[in-house]
Chains A and B, each alone.
Chain A
Amino acid sequence: MVAATILLATPVKVVVADKPKGDAVTFKDHVKPILRQYCLKCHGNDEQNADLNLQTYQTLLKGGSGGAVVKPGRPEASVLFQAITATDDAARMPPKSPPIPRKHVQVIRRWIATGLRETSVSKSLSPASTITFNPSANAAKKPSGPPAMPVGLSVIKRPATSRRLPVLAMAASPWAPLLAVSAYQHVRLFDITTRKEIGSLPFPEGVPYMLRFSRNGGVLLVAGGKPVQVGSVVLFDVRTGKRLAQLGDELDAVMAADISPDQRLVALGGSGRTVKVYSTADARLRYKLTRHTDWITSLAFSPDGKQLASGDRAGGLHLWDAGKGGLLFSLASHQASVRTISWRSDSKVLASGGEDGRLIWWNTESGFSSISNSNPHPPQRPSGVYGKLPNGVLAARFGSDGSLFTCGRDSHARFWNVSGKQLRTFKVEAAIPTQVAISHDGKTLVAGDSTGHVHFWTRAK
């Protein structure tokens, strides 16, 4: 006992094998040493607080009095991971101690995400990151059967919030009257025809910052996370609400993402300034784009799948070869953060809007702008107020007929025809419209605002 005490009192250096490669994080080689240092005193063979014993792989999987502590492939949903990453000092493990160093937390996160391997020869238990996601045939085209609408989604318990989260992301299905709207730790689904909420998808990973339907409307991409903590992309089956895959393991919330029309690629980016493009089939990184000098704020694959557009917070906007990641054009015109980009359905025009107040229609074959509107969202100047007023363009979406719907800091949503002429304006009272969408049939215009409300308008006069 005396010897044991001495051993405990001596600082133990945790030897973790070099940066885990690929899926090679294992309980035996990587996780156990970390648990030994931080957890086993209270949750080991000697003492089992909450009936939890983390000493062996088998007892760990068994869990404690509260049930299982790890869910394969789902770190954010695993009690073990939640306990060591809680931001509340009182709730975090180990108790009354500084948080476990970030690099160790990342090892555990990876281990759970990659399927709880016991040793390097064990099989992954994770259902998500393996080859379970199969892009549907004719993914880029109109589905042959009836377009995807959710059916019988299970009712989820929505997290209690003090107020509604601003609408940070929104998307309309290209083929069905279906609208997805971001909310705190879940996604709200609306039937555009009835304008009623018809269900929701849980997103315990945090806040969804980006929502995109696949080209055929069958898959919903939800990207987001928790600021300066974790970020990832989750693909949902629109019909069933099932999780198809989870991609990315970011240190900050994912702010921009898109899925390619053939559903084979997912591009994501955020404060890391790097665009990462993953293969959906095997969750492997296909290529990285490192040209951006600031946060990635927007990403979009062209409808024909050939190009990828990416915008950043410094105003940088680039067009890439979607297959290999080669640079095609740098569309240098924005003087401040690019806030939104949208492709026209024929892939020939890209619209971009930014905090500099500009809205630009780019010819993606020449790399030059074909229409440039320097102040499409002019704010009203109150009397006695001088200087520059915020006039940023926050969101822009093309309809299938080439018309464009935008919103900005002037508290208006505006509708433009193919040649960039403004047709209609809509005022949003007492809030800033943050996101826009056009229904699949082009008849309904939708905007979400900074107080979390969703506004529906009929396009025709």
Chain B
Amino acid sequence: MVRRAILLLLLATVQGQAADGLSFRRDVMPILFRAGCNQGTCHGSSRGKDGFSLSLFGYNPKGDYFRLTREIIGRRVNVAAPEESLLLLKATGAVPHTGGARFSRDSEYYKTLVEWIRQGAPDDAGQVPEAVEITLSPTHLLFQGQAKPVQTTVMARYSDGTKRDVTSLALFYSNNPDTATIDKNGLVQAVGRGDGYVFARFSRFTIGSEVIVLPPAAGYKWSKPPVHNYIDTLVHDRLQKLQLLPSALADDDTFIRRVYLDLTGAPPNSEQYRRFAKDTHAKKRARLIDDLLRSPEFTDLSTGLWAESVRLMGGGYTPTATDLKAAEAYYQWIRKQISQNRPFDEFVYDQVTASGSNLRDGPTNLYTMLVHDVRFKPKAFAADFSQLFLGIQIQCAECHNHPFDRWTMDDYYGFVSFFTGITRKPGAEPREFYIFNKRRAAPSRHKVDGRPMVATVLGGEGPAAADLDSRVALARWLTSPQNGLFARNIANRLWARFFHRGLVEPVDDLRISNPPTNGPLLEELARRFVKYGFDQRALIRDICNSRTYQLASKPNATNKLDDRQFSRARLRRLRADVLLDSIIKVTEWDRPFRNFPKGTRAVQFYPRTPGDTSQPLWFDDFLKTFGRSSRNSICSCETRGEPTLSQTLHMVVGKNITNAINAGLVTRLLERGDGPRALIEELFIRCLSRKPTAEEMAAMLELVAEDVKEKAPYEDILWSLLNSTEFSFNH
């Protein structure tokens, strides 16, 4: 017995020495992550799986420790016979396991877990350094053809300054598997021409390395196209790296149509077209851009786009505080700011810090429109606010750390606390509410441990200044020139407006794991935006004057497959409201809009309902059919561009087209008596911003030769032009 005791004592000493190595948070948690135990489809699901639940991707180590060792004592972890712990039997597939075998008995993962359990499965809260950063090397990978695969390495840096190779504990994925794949050990293999990123995830971090795969054959020669401004320089840098050549410059006809549609929301009329065609000035394109930026149509379009993105709608249901009068106050305020070219930072600052009556103080309606609800909801509002102004989706972090970005639950709840004091106080009449921020409101509480979270800006070091309305601190941080998130987001959204693809796409999902296709360009656009004093017209002027914007859509041999690097113009279906305005402008149709005065354009129209606004609303069948945002959520995906059968039918036989054609245009043109040739040319210019080709003209003349005064053939031509893809697309 004494001998036994001594033996045990000796054993204990040996184990005590080994025990220094293993920690639950540093050694065990990463294995649960790497083996996939805590992913969303398995035990990381909010309800767990088969009776065992872990925190998704390990955001709550304390809870995971409890569930592994304490919830059912002796079962999942058995310190008496470590190999018989259910954790290990399940993970190695030694007993039936829905998730199958995750690793083998001779893997490092198994050995680590057994050793940890043998040491008594100790907890280590507050004792171990946390990972504070990870790096992935190499940071750039370049493959020429089917080159040899390359092994990547993931290093983690901890709060105590130590570094550790965590390649075997990280998860890997590629965002473009057609270009390059990465296996579970971090080996990168080229697949096909293109660019993309491979990512490593470890702890709460994600990091990417760029991969470029070039075709095997040499012989690429840069065509040295001219450069209009910095945008072209940065795009060309990227194209050269990827061995792409830009398409040719678009002709004047294509340019005028494109720039009119993008800046004013409708194609040029024939007078505008002919004036530009006759203009021989060397800078006629730049002059046209300046003219259009000053036009009221540009203001209307920009106002409509902003109104749509803040979900502006007017309703008659009092409790949501989105009365018609409130919506109109907000709309007119926005229009005034844009018309006066108010710097964008001030424009946003005023909305964020707005207090007062929803009926009279337009910008206060940011707090009624962004989230349509009978009560103000801080969490929903904070998520939408971040998505709109920063392009960041933090709502994942309500329940777990963002799996693919840096945002943690601490960031989320700290951000929500800016809005926990927002109050809607009933005003003088039922439709009116006073909106203000109650000082010293109770902050939000952390979901995991109930900690009160003081208002903190995203990524901020400490709490915001407490002596002001907390929204002032928020607005100052948001619109500060130092806040790259804001400038980048707005620059990216403006870019997307003119290229129908953001440098980051989708535009409201900026995150580490969704990097821009041309990082330096996005940085430069953001920098210039700040330099211009947040003047959006100035940035738009740069974009429209760039050669990149003015490229033709016709591809060359190198850029046929390019859809990300702006080496040619992208074909894009017109937005629903722009398409409708185009039909109206071409046919001079006086179309009414429900609950709006005569002469309203589709881009000015927003839903006005006698009822509740917290539901999808279009209030116009054409806009619904062609995918205008229903304003049901903040997501940029509410605006749809994909073709549907009902769109085709609508264009072929729908009442909008029929009414537009019957609006009298052909009769008026016939009255001019210019003859069939001039009339056909007029219709082509109106609809397609170009003259008909000789072939087209000959074919059309055949149709109308019989009787010059008969309007039916001309209406048929107009119908055909409106139904052509050349009309409904910007190209």
Contacts and interface: CB of A to CB of B under 8 A. Distances in A.
A95 B90 CA distance: 21
B287 interface: no
Interface string B545-587: 0000000000000000000000000000000000000000000
Contacts of A87: 83-84, 89, 92, 94-95
Given A88-B83, A386-B446, A163 B74 contact: no
Contacts of A110: none
Contacts of A165: 74, 78-81
B597 interface: no
Interface string B66-97: 10001001110011111110100110101110
Interface residues of B, number: 30
B66 A162 contact: no
B319 interface: no
A385 interface: yes
Contacts of A385: 449
A228 B51 contact: no
A168 interface: yes
B89 A386 contact: no
Interface string A308-333: 00000100000000000000000000
Given A228-B95, A434-B73, A163 B80 contact: yes
A385 B451 CA distance: 7
B73 A386 contact: no
B129 to A, nearest CB: 20
Given A165-B78, A207-B78, A227-B86, A88 B449 contact: no
Contact of A386 (B83, B95, B450): B450
Contacts of B446: 386-387
A164 B83 contact: no
Query: Which of B51, B70, B90, B95 has the largest count of A CB atoms less than 10 A from its CB?
Result: B95
A346 interface: no
Which size class do A's interface residues fall under? 20 to 34
Contacts of B132: none
B452 interface: yes
Contacts of A28: none
Interface string A143-173: 0000000000000000101111110100000
Nearest to A86: B94
Contact of B450 (A89, A227, A387): A387
Contacts of A432: 70, 73
B450 A388 contact: yes
Nearest to B69: A450
Contacts of A164: 79-80
A385 B452 CA distance: 10
Contacts of A313: 51
Contacts of A228: 86, 89-90, 95-96
B70 A168 contact: no
Interface string A216-254: 000000000011110000000000000000000000010
A229 to B, nearest CB: 6
Given A102-B96, A313-B51, A227 B451 contact: no
Interface string B92-127: 101110000000010000000000001010000000
A386 B79 contact: no
A295 interface: yes
Contacts of A102: 96
B445 interface: yes
Contact of B73 (A161, A162, A295, A450): A450
Contacts of B147: none
Interface in A360-413: 385-388, 390, 409
Nearest to A253: B75
A162 B16 CA distance: 12
A227 B95 contact: yes
Contacts of A388: 450
A183 B448 CA distance: 35
Contact of A163 (B66, B84, B86, B120): B120
Nearest to A386: B450
A164 B78 CA distance: 9
Given A89-B105, A102-B96, A166 B89 contact: no
A142 B76 CA distance: 40
A385 B96 CA distance: 39
A207 B79 CA distance: 12
Nearest to B97: A228
Nearest to B86: A227
A221 B89 CA distance: 27
Given A228-B96, A271-B51, A386-B450, 13 more contacts: A87-B95, A88-B83, A162-B80, A162-B82, A163-B80, A163-B120, A165-B81, A166-B79, A168-B73, A183-B80, A227-B89, A387-B451, A390-B66
19 contacts: A87-B83, A87-B89, A159-B81, A164-B80, A165-B80, A166-B73, A168-B73, A168-B74, A184-B80, A184-B81, A207-B78, A228-B96, A253-B75, A271-B51, A313-B51, A386-B451, A386-B452, A390-B66, A450-B70
Please list the 4 inter-chain residue pairs (A to B) with the smallest Cβ-Cβ separation, ordered nearest first. Answer: A387-B450, A386-B450, A165-B80, A161-B80
Interface of B: 51, 66, 70, 73-75, 78-84, 86, 89-90, 92, 94-96, 105, 118, 120, 445-446, 448-452
